[in-house]
Structure 1
Amino acid sequence: MTAPAPTPVTALATEGNVAGRLSFVDRYLALWILAAMAAGLGLGRLVPGLGGALAEVTVTGVSLPIALGLLVMMYPVLAKVRYDRLGTVTRDRRLLVPSLLLNWVVGPALMFALAWLFLPDLPAYRTGLIIVGLARCIAMVIIWNDLACGHREAAAVLVALNSVFQVIAFAALGWFYLSVLPGWLGLARTDLDVSTWQIARSVLIFLGIPLAAGYLTRRIGERTKGRTWYESRLLPRIGPFALYGLLFTIVLLFALQGDAITSSPLDVARVAVPLLVYFAVMWAGSMALARVIGLDYPRATTLAFTAAGNNFELAIAVAIATFGASSGQALAGVVGPLIEVPALIALVHVALRTRRHFTVQEAPTHA
C-alpha cells in the first residue's frame, strides 16, 4: 500500500494554538522550572545539612528522593507510547543510523573538544563535563520530545537504543576520552573507574522500571477498557505527574549542591558556556541533518532532542561514585541540568516555530 503523501506542516496547529491547549502547568513550564531551580538553590543554601541528608540514602549513587522523582517523571510519558507502533520505527534506518552516529560519535567528541577548549585549567570540571557528554539521554528527553510534538514511539526506540549502548559502551568511551585520547594528544589523562554493572544498574532502574510500568499500564488498560477510554480518560489523569516529577527532581537536584553552586558562581558560569554551545550545536546540527535527509517534523524533532540531551542522573552517579559527592566532577554534573533544562525548554519553542520548514507524514497524537 502506498504511503500517503506528506502534508505541509503549516496545516497543523500553530505554536500559539498548541500553547493554548496546554494546561496551566504546561503553559508556564519554563517559569515553574526556574522557580524550582531557585527553590532548590535556596534550600541547599539555607538549610544546613540538607544536601548531606539527601545524599544519605542512594540508588546507584543518586539520592533516593531524586531517584523516585525521576521514576515519577518518566512513567506517565512512557505510558503514552503506543507500543504496537514500535515496529515501524525500528525499520526506519534514516532515523536510527543518524541517531546512533550523533549520540555515540559526534556528541562525545564535541563535548570532549568543548571541555578542553573552555576549561583547560579546571581539570575536575573538565572531567565532569566529558562524563556528561558520554552519558546519552534516557530520561528528560522524553519530556522535551513530547512538549515539542515529536514522535513518541520513535523517542521510545531511540531511548532504548541509547540505554543498550550506554551499558555496552560507557566505560570503554570513558577510558578512551579521559585516558587514551588525551595521551595521544599530549594532554592530561584521567582514570575513570566505573564498571559495566554500575551503568547497567542505573539504566535498569531509571529506564527499565518506568518503561515496564508504562507498558503494563497501557496493555492492561486497553485490554480491560479499550484504547479510547485509556487515551481519553486515564492518560489525562496520570499525565500531569510527569511534570510534577520533573519539578520535584529539579528542586532536589539543586538543593543537593546548592551551596557549591552559589559559592562558586564564576566556576558555574565557565562550565555553563561549553554546555550552552554543546546543546545549541547538537540540536541545530541534528535538525539541519534531518532536513537534508528528508525526515518529517516529528522524527526530526525526536532526532534533535535525543542527540542534544544528556543523562545527567547517570553522569552525577558516576562522578559521585568515582570522585566523591563534593568533587568538582560531581558539581559539573549538577550544573548540567541547571543549563540543560532552560536551554532545552527554549529549544522546544524554537522547534515548534520550525515546523513550517518540514513536512509531516503522520501528526503525533497527544492525549
Structure 2
Amino acid sequence: MKEENKKHDGIGFFEKYLTVWVLLCMAAGILIGKFLPGIPNFLEKIKYANQNIPIAVLIWIMIYPMMMKIDFQSIKNVGKRPLGIVISSGTSWAIKPFLMFGLASLFFYVVFKAFIPTELAQSYVTGAVLLGAAPCTAMVFVWSNLTKGDPAHTLVQVSINDLLIIILFVPIVSFLLGINNIYIPWDTLVFSIVLFVVVPLVAGFLTRNYMIKNKGLDYFNEKFVTKFDNITTTGLLLTLVIIFTFQGDVILDNPFYVLLIAVPLILQNVITAFFAYFVCRWTKQPHNIAAPAALIGASDFFELSVAVAITIFGPLSPVVLVCTVGVLTEVPVMLMLVSFVNKTKHWFPAEKVVKNS
C-alpha cells in the first residue's frame, strides 16, 4: 500500500531539544553519583549473565518501538532507486566505520596525546568504533522528513541497514578493535547483537504484523506506533541518567575530556554526510534521494553502541562515556546538516515522482 511509506510528522519536542535533555540527564546523573552513591552501587549489582538488567530493560524500551516502524516488505522496492541505495549503504558500511576509527585514532593517539593517557585513548577509540560501526535506524526518519526526503527510499534503506547490522556489525567491530589491540570473542559480540537487535527486531516485526492484520495500517501508523514516541525518548533519558551516575567521577575530574571526545565524533558525522551528499550530486541523484542518503550515512545508532559497550565493558568503562557523548553531539550536528541540505537543494536536478507498487 502507498500508506506504508507515510512520512513521520516531523521532529517532536523531546527530539528537537534532545541535547538539552541529555545535558540535564548528565547533570542529574553526576549529582546522584556524587551525593547518593548508594544508588549507582545498587544498580551496578543488578546483573544477569554479565548484563546490567535496569539498563538492558531501558535499552529495549528504546529500540523495540524503532523496530516496529520497519517494514521489510519495502525492500522489494529497492530496484526503484538502486544507485541511491548503493551510495547510502556504501557510505554507511564501507566508509563510515573506518573513517570513525581513523579520526578517533588520529585525535586520541596523536593530536590530543598531551591530554589523554595512552590507555584511556585506547578505550576512547574503542567507544568511537562501536559508535561508528552502525548507522542510525530511528531519528533518520525525522531528518529525512525535515529535508523532504523520499520516504520510500528512507524506509528501504533503514530496513536494509537493520539486516546489514546483523551481518556486518560483528566482523567490522572485531576487525577494527583488533587493530586497536582490543580483542573480544565473537560470541560476546554476537550475543550483544542478538540481545539488542535480533530480539527487538523480531518482537517489532511480530507486533507490526499483528496490529496491521487486526487493526489496519492506518491505525498502526497514526495511533498505535505514535504512542511509543515519548516512551522511547524517556527510556533514552533514564538510561543516560544511570550511565552518568557511573561516569560522574570521571567527568568531574576531567570535564575537558568530554570536549575532546566530541571532536572526532562531530567530524565523522560531517565528513560522512558530505561524502554521500556530493557523490549523489555527482551521479545526478534528485535531492529527495541525496538528502536521506547523506543523513542516514552520517548518523549513528547510539542506542546500540551504548548497549554493546555496557554489555562488554561495563557501565563504568570510558568506552561507554564515548558512546554517550555521541548522543550529546548528534542532534545539533544533524540539525546543522539538515539546514545545509535544505539550503543547497538547487544544486540537484528536479525530482521525479516514482510511484510505489
Report the TM-score when normalising by structure 2: 0.77
Question: For residues 53 and 90 of structure 1, what CA distance do their matches in structure 2 show?
Answer: 52
The superposition leaves residues 251-292 of structure 1 with CA deviations (integer Å, 9 ceiling, x where unpaired) of 233333122112211222222222222222222322222333
Question: CA distance change for structure 1 residues 49 and 315 in 2, over 3 Å: closer, same or farther?
Answer: farther
Question: For residues 77 and 60 of structure 1, what CA distance do their matches in structure 2 show?
Answer: 25
Structure 1 residue 237, shift from structure 2 partner: 2.3
The superposition leaves residues 82-128 of structure 1 with CA deviations (integer Å, 9 ceiling, x where unpaired) of 33212213775424433444334422332333233322233234323
Question: For residues 153 and 59 of structure 1, what CA distance do their matches in structure 2 show?
Answer: 36
Structure 1 residue 205, shift from structure 2 partner: 1.5
SS of alignment partner, residue 81 of structure 1? coil
Question: CA distance change for structure 1 residues 319 and 33 in 2, over 3 Å: closer, same or farther?
Answer: closer
Question: For residues 330 and 264 of structure 2, what CA distance do their matches in structure 1 show?
Answer: 11
User: Which of 235, 238, 261 is matched with 2:251 structurally?
Assistant: 261
- Residue in 2 that maps onto 1:220: 210
Give the unaligned 5+ runs of structure 1: 1-12, 179-189
SS of alignment partner, residue 141 of structure 1? coil
CA contact (8 A) 1:69 1:246 kept: yes
Within-5 A mapping of 1:193-212: 193-212=183-202
The superposition leaves residues 203-223 of structure 1 with CA deviations (integer Å, 9 ceiling, x where unpaired) of 112112221122112211111
Structure 1 residue 227, shift from structure 2 partner: 1.6
The superposition leaves residues 179-220 of structure 1 with CA deviations (integer Å, 9 ceiling, x where unpaired) of xxxxxxxxxxx3x22111111111112112221122112211
User: Which of 230, 241, 253 is matched with 1:240 structurally?
Assistant: 230
- Residue in 1 that maps onto 2:107: 118
Question: For residues 115 and 137 of structure 1, what CA distance do their matches in structure 2 show?
Answer: 10
Amino acid at match of 1:224: N
User: Which of 174, 177, 190 is matched with 1:171 structurally?
Assistant: 174
- Residue in 1 that maps onto 2:24: 35
RMSD value, Cα: 3.6
Question: CA distance change for structure 1 residues 26 and 341 in 2, over 3 Å: closer, same or farther?
Answer: closer
- Residue in 1 that maps onto 2:3: none
Matched, 1:153 2:156: yes
Segment of structure 1 superposing worse, 44-53 or 265-274 = 44-53
CA contact (8 A) 1:71 1:209 kept: no
Question: CA distance change for structure 1 residues 357 and 38 in 2, over 3 Å: closer, same or farther?
Answer: farther
- Residue in 2 that maps onto 1:4: none
Question: For residues 101 and 71 of structure 2, what CA distance do their matches in structure 1 show?
Answer: 36
Within-5 A mapping of 1:214-363: 214-297=204-287, 299-312=289-302, 315=305, 326-344=316-334, 346-348=336-338, 350-351=340-341
- Residue in 2 that maps onto 1:84: 73
Report the TM-score when normalising by structure 1: 0.75
CA contact (8 A) 2:51 2:311 kept: no
Q: Percent identity?
A: 27
Question: For residues 69 and 83 of structure 1, what CA distance do their matches in structure 2 show?
Answer: 25
Amino acid at match of 2:99: L
Question: CA distance change for structure 1 residues 203 and 195 in 2, over 3 Å: closer, same or farther?
Answer: same
Give the unaligned 5+ runs of structure 2: 1-6
Amino acid at match of 2:264: P
Structure 1 residue 27, shift from structure 2 partner: 4.8
Amino acid at match of 2:106: L
Question: For residues 311 and 64 of structure 2, what CA distance do their matches in structure 1 show?
Answer: 26
Structure 1 residue 325, shift from structure 2 partner: 5.3
Question: For residues 48 and 293 of structure 2, what CA distance do their matches in structure 1 show?
Answer: 30
CA contact (8 A) 1:312 1:337 kept: yes
User: Which of 36, 42, 45 is matched with 2:34 structurally?
Assistant: 45
- Residue in 1 that maps onto 2:129: 134
Question: For residues 361 and 52 of structure 1, what CA distance do their matches in structure 2 show?
Answer: 58
Within-5 A mapping of 1:90-109: 92-109=81-98
Question: CA distance change for structure 1 residues 142 and 299 in 2, over 3 Å: closer, same or farther?
Answer: farther
CA contact (8 A) 2:269 2:299 kept: yes
Amino acid at match of 2:129: L
The superposition leaves residues 227-249 of structure 1 with CA deviations (integer Å, 9 ceiling, x where unpaired) of 22222332232333222223223
Structure 1 residue 168, shift from structure 2 partner: 3.2
The superposition leaves residues 12-70 of structure 1 with CA deviations (integer Å, 9 ceiling, x where unpaired) of x9xxxx66xx5544554443343333333333333214444333334776532222222
Amino acid at match of 1:272: A
